[in-house]
Structure 1
Amino acid sequence: LMAEMKNQNLDVIRFASYRTACKLRFIQKRTQLHLVDLWNMIEAFRENAFHSLEPLAEVSLARTQTLVTSVYYQLNKRLPPTQQVDLGQCVSLLLHWLLATYDPEQSGQLRVLSLKVSLSIMCAGKMVDKLRYLFSLLADSGGHLMPGRFAHFLEEALALPASVLESPTFHYTESLPAAIFDHARVTVNDFLLGLAGDHTPDCLLWMPLLHRLANVENVLHPVQCDGCNRDSFLGFRYKCQRCYNYQLCQDCFWRGRVSGSHTNQHEMKEYAVYKSPSKQLGHSLRKSFRCVPDRPSRGLPQFPDEPERTLDLAHIVPPSPMPTHNGFSTPPHEGLNGLRSALRQMPGGSDEEHRLIARYAARLARLRETPVHHASLESGIPTDSSRQRELVAQLEAKNREIMREIVRLRQNQEQEEAAALQSGQNPALLSELRALRQRKRELEAHLAALQDSRRDLMLQLEALMKMLKNHQASPRSTPNSSPRSCTSKSPLGA
């Protein structure tokens, strides 16, 4: 992998942050991690029980290999057959790179935090989402950054530039954590502000650049590069602020290729998109005549400083954003239909859980469809906190049962694989080997059905709990109004 990277001739790039980002981007694409998004990576951590381990705990090489294998196995299940990756090659490349980066002494042990930091940074996803996930690994129960954990995070993150021979520029020092955050109570918003965008510390400049490279590598600029005379090019575009209409592609600018009277000392402006001259002129005219309202600057999103109390969804990947309808994730009838279909697909061992959630969903549906008085709402839905806790506890217990069933199926699969290996080439056992392979395929299908059903079930439960919370927080709306449009006070609350 390192030999292939050297053949790319990336060391001639003049700027250390761009050079490091390009090298890591090469590794990201060579190991196919650019096809795995953050949420699927988090799901892989949870499916392999990494979420229950302390960040500073160490795991064996075999367990690391199992994690990496599951990442690519699940990736191939999402990709069409013609675009699937070579699982064996990807596992080998990524595993060797992780070992070279975090286990140079060849101890056979890797820290959990090392794996979570490296894989979450190198996978696909938004920078803000990755920083929020990393903050969740480094924060205490009160939602404040732990300085010791942050120091470990910097060590693990800066091991990535070191893996591509950029440690002279980006390296860890003992004074670095305090130089980035010099106050004690660092919240998630402080963390985002301190590490994202224009506020990124020098030691981590390569990280946002890695994400920007992924965003612009397919952006076409239909202009001629004055360095190499190409008619059009992809990636970043650089325009000189002194020479009239002098533009360079990223390859020429990064490598210092110039022409004419232009020099590398001239100030250049970087562009990630292309706008035609006519569009630029029209925008300037509209802006000069005040036809274009001033847009508020796109800052970082704000999140609650205090961590929200949520359901115990430790085994579930956070749901992707979905369109909202009247304040709910899905229309009530669609959500209930999806819940019923998910329940029908669940294995028969969870009938009690099915009936419990179906009964709860039906009650919520009746409450939404019937315009009754606020008092009847309170009597019809279990608003008592102890009843809610009991319901959630029952569902979480059933979820744990499903997890135990998944573990049992995996153990059976491993035992049958071992038996198949022991059978060797004995002709008398060939029929048994074929039966074991068929059983293995059935177990894999059963396991996939269990995981999909469990995920659907927990997402529906979370949606139902949000509906319950909205009903409790606001008065009953009229039949023709949405829950968010009701502004009058309930007579009971006056």
Structure 2
Amino acid sequence: MIEESGNKRKTMAEKRQLFIEMRAQNFDVIRLSTYRTACKLRFVQKRCNLHLVDIWNMIEAFRDNGLNTLDHTTEISVSRLETVISSVYYQLNKRLPSTHQISVEQSISLLLNFMIAAYDSEGRGKLTVFSVKAMLATMCGGKMLDKLRYVFSQMSDSNGLMIFSKFDQFLKEVLKLPTAVFEGPSFGYTEHSVRTCFPQQKKIMLNMFLDTMMADPPPQCLVWLPLMHRLAHVENVFHPVECSYCRCESMMGFRYRCQQCHNYQLCQNCFWRGHASGPHSNQHQMKEHSSWKSPAKKLSHAISKSLGCVPTREPPHPVFPEQPEKPLDLANIVPPRPLANMNDTLVSHASASSGVPTPTKRLQYSQDIPSHSADEHALIASYVARLQHCARVLDSPSRLDEEHRLIARYAARLAAEAGNTRPPTDLSFNSDANKQQRQLIAELENKNREILQEIQRLRLEHEQASQPTPEKAQQNPTLLAELRLLRQRKDELEQRMSALQESRRELMVQLEGLMKLLKAQATGSPHTSPTHGGSRPMPMPVHSTSAGSTPTHCPQDPLSGVGGDLQEAFAQGTRRNLRNDLLVAADSITNTMSSLVKELHSAEEGAEEEEEKKQDGKDRG
């Protein structure tokens, strides 16, 4: 029980979330009901992310979910309504960049709960198709003209005349939106709402309907609708003017200028809340500005107007033909598919009663062409144009094959229909020509297949040639020659190292003989000269540690200890000439050992460099 009550509270909180957020915006302080209603509905539109979906994308969603084939009075369940809304938002996320993705689940929940609160207050769990279309077409983004054209197509007959009963039903559905945001007393539905829009019961065509809905002022019950669109257009308009009440240095949105007080201007927040200061009063007439013009532009405009150079004002909307355009029926030829961009091409409905307003790029039959053959050719041309403008026609090979099959099937149908009215001679001539064309196409396809195979073969050969195997690298004569030179250089270095080691041994043997001779002489004369008795022993400058660092040094070398014998000999004070000879010999040995060590190090470094070059050559090979 506790869990069920918790879930119920959570569900109720989700249903009331949008209304709680709307109350937090404090729109109720706006004194004018028209602006108050428009601001609330604009907030709902932006909070549900409907301002990112235009009327063409909404029509696409209706068609994808099969609403165009249902009668307006058909009721759909909440689950199917959720499917429709989900398709709208998932398609929207596909069109938006990755940095501007919306929360689909949150948007679905907010919009679904708002529609249920507005159109299913009794809790029946069902809504009519016309209610869904009217609400979504009104609350989505896009131009008001396109919305009204679509709404009129849902309320008109096959002759392009508005059906008043359907328009009355439209008012009932669309005026539930102000009631849902607690503005029912100002803009609720009444039985006289239709007469306030069209006082005279006469034939209403599309242009008259647009003139009435987009007039200034519009019908009183729908005055909030054009204001909501104007709010969307001026949200980011900047006015470098100071507000006369709040003293804000600039304004965003609407700007209101008093027609009686000199240079008295208010921002939209101050005007909507009825703020006034100084001699200004709320009873003064105010002019609404949705853009900013510099004084220079105002002066140039006034001069042009006085000179009659200002062009005539364009009509609020283009004039459309009185007769409705016949929609292209491809139900038996092409299955319905969603289009990538509904702003460029509008999907035509299958039935005339559910037709859609057709922009300039819409596929259509031309009723002015008397010839049936011309109609067929126009159909083919329009279908080819649709294939060219559709962004997702060639997204996969299977779809491409399907399109070709459809074109081939329809071309065969045209050939069969045209063959019924042609004489036998023409038929035989055309059949021969078609046979020759098919043969030519078959030959070209075979040639194309052969060319593709040849290209594939050449590509494989090129890849194999650019990636040699290790066996080929070993058979490369250049690499073999480099390897041979490296080995020869290595042998030469090893021979040189052996020769240096041999010379070192010979020098050490000579040094040992000299030391023995020195010891023998020192034993024969035990009394040393007084001039040399106090002399300090001279160190031997033999780099024994450096010599021992070479690879040829052994710790058991019999020549070790030579330096100590020399020091002992010099300490005993031998003859000067013999000492000088020994010093010269020691210096010679030292120099020889130093050069030997350098040679050995340079030989090792050279061998390492040659090995690295050899390895780099193998890697490149």
TM over 0.5: yes
Q: How many angstroms apart in 2 are the aligned matches of 1:225 and 1:20?
A: 24
Aligned twin of 2:172: 155
The structural deviation recorded for 1:353 is 1.4
Q: How many angstroms apart in 2 are the aligned matches of 1:333 and 1:188?
A: 30
Match of 1:179 among 196, 199, 203: 196
Residue correspondence of structure 1 range 406-445 to structure 2 within 5 A: none
Q: Is the 8 A contact 1:68 1:95 kept in 2?
A: yes
Match of 1:229 among 238, 247, 255: 247
| Residue 137 (structure 1) aligned with residue 154 (structure 2) | yes
SS of residue matched to 1:320: coil
Aligned twin of 2:406: 353
Q: Is the 8 A contact 1:14 1:255 kept in 2?
A: yes
Q: Is the 8 A contact 1:217 1:235 kept in 2?
A: yes
Instruction: Write the letter of the residue equivalent to 1:197.
Output: A
Match of 1:274 among 287, 292, 302: 292
SS of residue matched to 2:190: coil
| Residue 146 (structure 1) aligned with residue 186 (structure 2) | no
| Residue 38 (structure 1) aligned with residue 55 (structure 2) | yes
| Residue 55 (structure 1) aligned with residue 72 (structure 2) | yes
CA RMSD in angstroms comes to 3.0
Q: How many angstroms apart in 2 are the aligned matches of 1:308 and 1:244?
A: 53
SS of residue matched to 1:197: coil
Q: Is the 8 A contact 1:220 1:235 kept in 2?
A: yes
Aligned twin of 1:468: none
The structural deviation recorded for 1:174 is 1.6
SS of residue matched to 1:213: helix
Q: Is the 8 A contact 2:171 2:189 kept in 1?
A: yes
The structural deviation recorded for 1:319 is 5.5
Q: How many angstroms apart in 2 are the aligned matches of 1:259 and 1:339?
A: 58
Q: How many angstroms apart in 2 are the aligned matches of 1:17 and 1:341?
A: 43
Post-superposition CA distance 1:450-480 (Å, at most 9, x none):
xxxxxxxxxxxxxxxxxxxxxxxxxxxxxxx
Match of 1:28 among 45, 50, 62: 45
Aligned twin of 1:8: 25
Q: Percent identity?
A: 47
Aligned twin of 2:183: 166
Aligned twin of 2:344: 320
Note closer, same or farther for the CA distance 1:105–1:188 as it changes in structure 2 (3 Å cut): same
Q: Is the 8 A contact 2:304 2:310 kept in 1?
A: no
Aligned twin of 2:128: 111
Post-superposition CA distance 1:162-198 (Å, at most 9, x none):
0000000111112221332222321111211121131
Q: How many angstroms apart in 1 are the aligned matches of 2:109 and 2:287?
A: 41
Aligned twin of 2:139: 122
Residue correspondence of structure 1 range 331-346 to structure 2 within 5 A: 342=393, 346=399
Match of 1:287 among 305, 330, 339: 305
Q: Is the 8 A contact 2:393 2:400 kept in 1?
A: no
The structural deviation recorded for 1:297 is 3.6
The structural deviation recorded for 1:145 is 1.0
Q: Give the paired residue count.
A: 357
Structure 1 gaps, min length 5:
361-378, 380-494
The structural deviation recorded for 1:24 is 0.1
The structural deviation recorded for 1:147 is 1.4
Post-superposition CA distance 1:203-232 (Å, at most 9, x none):
100001111100111110011111111111
Note closer, same or farther for the CA distance 1:348–1:337 as it changes in structure 2 (3 Å cut): closer
Q: How many angstroms apart in 2 are the aligned matches of 1:304 and 1:334?
A: 23
Instruction: Write the letter of the residue equivalent to 1:352.
Output: R
Instruction: Write the letter of the residue equivalent to 2:80.
Output: R
Aligned twin of 1:97: 114
Q: How many angstroms apart in 1 are the aligned matches of 2:411 and 2:393?
A: 11
Q: How many angstroms apart in 2 are the aligned matches of 1:337 and 1:100?
A: 43
Q: Is the 8 A contact 1:197 1:208 kept in 2?
A: no
The structural deviation recorded for 1:295 is 2.1
Q: How many angstroms apart in 2 are the aligned matches of 1:78 and 1:333?
A: 24
Q: TM-score of the superposition, structure 2-length normalised?
A: 0.54
Aligned twin of 2:605: none
Instruction: Write the letter of the residue equivalent to 2:344.
Output: S
Aligned twin of 2:616: none
Instruction: Write the letter of the residue equivalent to 2:130.
Output: L
Q: How many angstroms apart in 2 are the aligned matches of 1:332 and 1:347?
A: 14
The structural deviation recorded for 1:233 is 1.4
SS of residue matched to 1:169: helix
SS of residue matched to 1:198: coil
Q: How many angstroms apart in 1 are the aligned matches of 2:151 and 2:52?
A: 20
Instruction: Write the letter of the residue equivalent to 1:192.
Output: L
Q: TM-score of the superposition, structure 1-length normalised?
A: 0.67
Aligned twin of 1:371: none
Q: How many angstroms apart in 2 are the aligned matches of 1:36 and 1:6?
A: 25
Q: How many angstroms apart in 2 are the aligned matches of 1:341 and 1:238?
A: 47
Aligned twin of 2:325: 308
SS of residue matched to 2:59: helix
Aligned twin of 1:209: 227
Q: How many angstroms apart in 2 are the aligned matches of 1:140 and 1:287?
A: 44
Higher relative contact order (CA 8 A, sep 6+): 1
Q: How many angstroms apart in 1 are the aligned matches of 2:391 and 2:118?
A: 47
Post-superposition CA distance 1:8-27 (Å, at most 9, x none):
11011111111100000000
Q: Is the 8 A contact 2:196 2:220 kept in 1?
A: no
Q: Is the 8 A contact 1:193 1:199 kept in 2?
A: no
Q: Which deviates further from its counterpart, 15-24 or 337-346? A: 337-346
Displaced runs of 4 or more, over 6 A: 321-324, 330-341, 357-360
| Residue 79 (structure 1) aligned with residue 96 (structure 2) | yes
Post-superposition CA distance 1:377-398 (Å, at most 9, x none):
xx9xxxxxxxxxxxxxxxxxxx
Post-superposition CA distance 1:409-442 (Å, at most 9, x none):
xxxxxxxxxxxxxxxxxxxxxxxxxxxxxxxxxx
Note closer, same or farther for the CA distance 1:60–1:225 as it changes in structure 2 (3 Å cut): same
Instruction: Write the letter of the residue equivalent to 1:320.
Output: D
SS of residue matched to 2:185: coil
Q: How many angstroms apart in 1 are the aligned matches of 2:388 and 2:315?
A: 38
Q: How many angstroms apart in 2 are the aligned matches of 1:34 and 1:340?
A: 23
SS of residue matched to 2:186: coil
Structure of greater Rg: 2
Q: How many angstroms apart in 1 are the aligned matches of 2:317 and 2:201?
A: 20
| Residue 263 (structure 1) aligned with residue 287 (structure 2) | no
Note closer, same or farther for the CA distance 1:29–1:340 as it changes in structure 2 (3 Å cut): closer
Aligned twin of 1:247: 265
Instruction: Write the letter of the residue equivalent to 1:273.
Output: S
